[in-house]
Amino acid sequence: MKRKNLIGFGLVAPLALGITGITAASARLYDYAFRRVDYVPETSADKQKYADEYYNYVNWFHNIPTHHWTLHADDLENRVEATFIPAAKLDSKKTVIIAHGYKGNGETMSNYAKMFYDMGYNVLLPDDRAHGRSSGDYINFGWIDRLDFVDWANSVVSRIGADSQIIMFGVSMGGATIQMTSGENLPPQVKLMISDCGYSSLRDELSYLLKEQFNLPSKIFVPLINAINHHRMGFSIDDVSSIRQLRKNTRPFLFIHGEKDIYVPTYMVDESFEACPDPKEIWIVPNASHAESFWINPQAYQTKIQQFIDKYSK
């Protein structure tokens, strides 16, 4: 993992900063990590080789018939938007709700959307809060989004019917969002949960990235970042725990993770898997980096998911 240049970022060694400097540096780190950006950052260098395939999926997304869904339409501060793609087979009762990654949006999940579409599913692609077309100034890393995903599931039941069969699926931050959603009171139409490379907790993920990307001590910076977040967002980063939510899960759960993930280290999926009650399965994809498991072999990825669905959908 390439470390950030601390001088260019506006930071120097913590011991040289003093209390005021550390506080200011924490605020800069918070804005860097939590404040929304109205563009999709460039993907990591290890996935640049998949650019042509990715844009083929995006072109498919832009040419497929879609509908626009909204939550909290009259509440400008909490308005959440989504794209709905009807299945090719009219009146299909099968729907997948897909959670995107950090600083992405529904469009960035076009490859997964097409995979499920080809499997016969309606596809719902929300833009999380502070992403895409949805409102919000700060990224909540799935904690508030999890409640929106409960609402999205209820919206599917309301629009598609009480005989709906729903899968929840997410990648990276979206994977963690699905893990956290699993502990909520979901409608019975939600049958299966699938997470690809989700983190076990926000505290652990922030601590890991502070060390690996900035070589900064988490014991100094995480409490200050937490205080800023509590003031701006109203919750502690310690609330954002996939592990605690997964312990309440009652549905079959498939965990996917890249063997060589250096952004969400593989030990986190082991912790999440251990916390989740049965039935559950785990698939560690050899040689895959972060969010690369699909791209290494799309057909094998689809086959694994189809096998999971076939095994537990009844």
> For 81-139, what is each residue's pLDDT tens digit?
999 999 999 899 999 999 999 999 999 999 999 999 999 999 999 999 999 999 999 99
Question: Is residue 209 domain-resident?
Answer: no
- Domain total in the chain: 2
The domain of 263 spans 44-201+240-312
Q: What is the pLDDT of residue 13?
A: 52
Residue 16's pLDDT is 52
Taking residues 74-86, what's their average pLDDT? 96
296 shares a domain with 152: yes
What CATH number is given to the structural domain containing 53?
3.40.50.1820
**What tokens does 211 get?**
């060390």
DSSP string, the chain: -PPP-HHHHT---GGGTHHHHHHHHHHHHHHHHHB--SSPPPPPGGGGGGHHHHHHHHHHHHHS--EEEEESTT-TTT-EEEEEE--SSTT--EEEEEE--TT--GGGGHHHHHHHHHTT-EEEEEEPTTSTTS--SB--TTTTHHHHHHHHHHHHHHHH-TT-EEEEEEETHHHHHHHHHTTS---TTEEEEEEES--SBHHHHHHHHHHHHH---HHHHHHHHHHHHHHHHSS-GGG-BHHHHHTT--S-EEEEEETT-TTTTTHHHHHHHHHSPSSEEEEEETT--TT-HHHH-HHHHHHHHHHHHHHH--
6 and 72 fall within a common domain: no
Give the model's pLDDT for residue 7.
Answer: 40
Work out the average pLDDT over 201-230: 95
Q: Are 118 and 163 in a shared domain?
A: yes
Q: Are residues 100 and 194 in the same domain?
A: yes
Same-domain pairing of 84 and 224: no
pLDDT in tens, 154-197: 999 999 999 999 999 999 999 999 999 999 999 999 999 999 99
Same domain as 11, residue 140: no
Q: Which residue type occupies 218?
A: S
Residue range 35-42: average pLDDT?
A: 92
Q: Say if residue 88 is in the same domain as residue 222.
A: no
Evaluate whether residue 154 is within a structural domain.
Answer: yes
Residue 161 shares a structural domain with residue 63: yes
Same domain, 132 and 222: no
